[in-house]
Amino acid sequence: METLDRSPAPPPAAPARRPWWRPGKLVAVLAVLGPGLIAANAGNDAGGVLTYASAGAQFAYKTLFLMVLVTVALVVVQEMCSRLGAYTGEGLGGLFREQFSARSATGALVLLLIANVGLTVSEFAGVGAAMEILGVSRFVAVPIAAVVLWALTVLGSYSKAERIFLILSLAFLAYPIAAFLGHPNAKEVFSNLVWPHFPHTAEFAVLAVALIGTTITPYMQFYVASAVVDKGITPAGYAKERVDTVMGAIWSDVVAVFIIIATAAAIGGTGPLQTAKDAAAALTPVVGSAAPYLFAFGLLGAALLAAAVVPLSTSYAIADAAGAPRSVSNSLREAPLFYGLFTFQIVVGAAIALAPGNLVALVINAQVLNGFITPVLLTYVLILANRRSVLGDAVNGSRFRVVATVSVAVVAVLSFLVLLYTVKGLF
């Protein structure tokens, strides 16, 4: 009789490791690009573009080293927030409700609402400023933009909106080109990138807080955590989302640095911007006399991108904290609180943006307000990411914890200094 061979079969050969840049792996990474990239690039909104341009116009290259530090902080903060979303399955609003007292959680969400309503106003002000450069009255452009954004978000699909947001962010590609064609002083640029050249003035301190406020904006943290949850990203798929988050944060700040360099090369040392059209001078090396129009389209895209993301982040956070449905996949009937909050911010933001006044000053002041609120909300995020009861083995490591703590502390100190300058000025 023939005997059966019961010896164990040899293990299958391990597949050869392919480098990350192979087409298959690139497709896998690109497939999850979205929440982190959108959240970070939305930070280069109307307020961001005008604040970075004002930094270049007022202080030339002197804010570049600050932007390097801010980039490190942004990467750390955004990564913590996306990790919290992926590993807990909850947005920051829900985590605040569960992990902190009712009073503390409510206070944090009120701060977020105040900051985001102000930012929504500045985004629609950016829409108005861009369209006025193109010869369209803000009284026509802003209401139309508000209706279109509302319909796209409430009546459309999240996947379509996400692709449109990503396409709009391509307008930022004009700034790196302008920075090179503007022939900036390479020695000064390098020197200011690697070593601080900070003027000890109240004006520089205020602008520094505005830069922090427009780069590490609270709505970005709330949005990325909730968007990760909304997209169904779990711990198993977080490695790819982490790439999205880190890439998005670095890319958005690289663009910001180029905005500062391009503006400094064109009009550096002339003082703060007075009108949105003044910032168009930085794009003259790219398109010559058409610079105002290119700037207007870029500003319009940046403003529309954030005018949807900012109110969404508030809606995510508050509806999450209330335990209400909170997804753009829900219908208006299924998530009335979520869409009601979104609608309220769109209406208020568009209405106030139609009031007369200096749009550039309005936008930059909104970033300063964010700079004051940011360290408070980041403290909540840091506490959550340090709690093993929240993240388990994905909790902040010892080195990461040190970097994150220092980042939050520096933001808080700068905000406190500006507060001191402000109080001193009153007396």
pLDDT of 157: 61
Q: How far apart are CA 22 and CA 20, in angstroms?
A: 6
The C-alpha atoms of residue 319 and residue 317 are separated, in whole angstroms, by 6
Give residue 347's pLDDT: 93
The pLDDT assigned to 383 comes to: 92
The span from the CA of 31 to the CA of 49, in Å, is 28
Output b/e per residue, 118-135; b: 16+ Cβ within 10 A: bbbbbbbbbbbbbbbbee
- The structure tokens listed for 383 are 């506490």
**Cα diameter, the chain:** 106
The topology (CATH level 3) of 42-426 is Amino acid/polyamine transporter I (1.20.1740)
Q: Is the dihedral of CA 76, 81, 82, 83 positive or negative?
A: positive
Residue type, 139: F
What does DSSP assign to residue 156?
A: S
Residue in the structure block whose two tokens are 């009108």? 275
pLDDT tens-digit profile, the chain (427 residues): 444 444 444 444 444 444 433 434 433 444 445 666 666 666 677 788 888 989 999 998 999 999 998 899 889 998 999 899 889 888 888 888 888 888 888 888 888 888 888 889 888 988 888 888 888 988 999 999 999 888 888 877 656 665 666 676 666 677 888 888 888 888 999 999 988 888 878 788 888 888 888 888 888 888 788 778 877 888 888 888 888 888 888 888 898 999 999 999 888 878 877 777 788 888 888 778 888 888 888 888 778 878 887 888 788 788 877 777 767 667 778 788 888 999 999 999 999 888 876 677 777 777 777 778 888 888 999 999 999 988 888 888 888 889 889 888 888 887 777 767 666 655 5
Radius of gyration for the alpha carbons in the chain, expressed in angstroms and rounded: 23
Contact 388, 234 (CB under 8 A): no
CA pair distance 282, 291, nearest whole angstrom: 8
Q: What is the pLDDT of residue 20?
A: 34
Its pTM stands at 0.80
The label of the residue with tokens 């497709």 reads 27
Domains of the chain: which residue ranges? Answer: 42-426
Picking from 168, 144, 212, the residue whose alpha carbon sits closest to that of residue 373 is 212
The answer for residues whose C-beta is within 8 angstroms of residue 204's C-beta and 6 or more apart is 59, 62, 198
Q: Which pLDDT value is given to residue 3?
A: 47
Half-sphere exposure of 174 (CA within 13 A, CB side): 27
What are the structure tokens assigned to 195, written together? Answer: 């070593």
pLDDT given for residue 158 in this prediction: 56
Give residue 140's pLDDT. Answer: 92
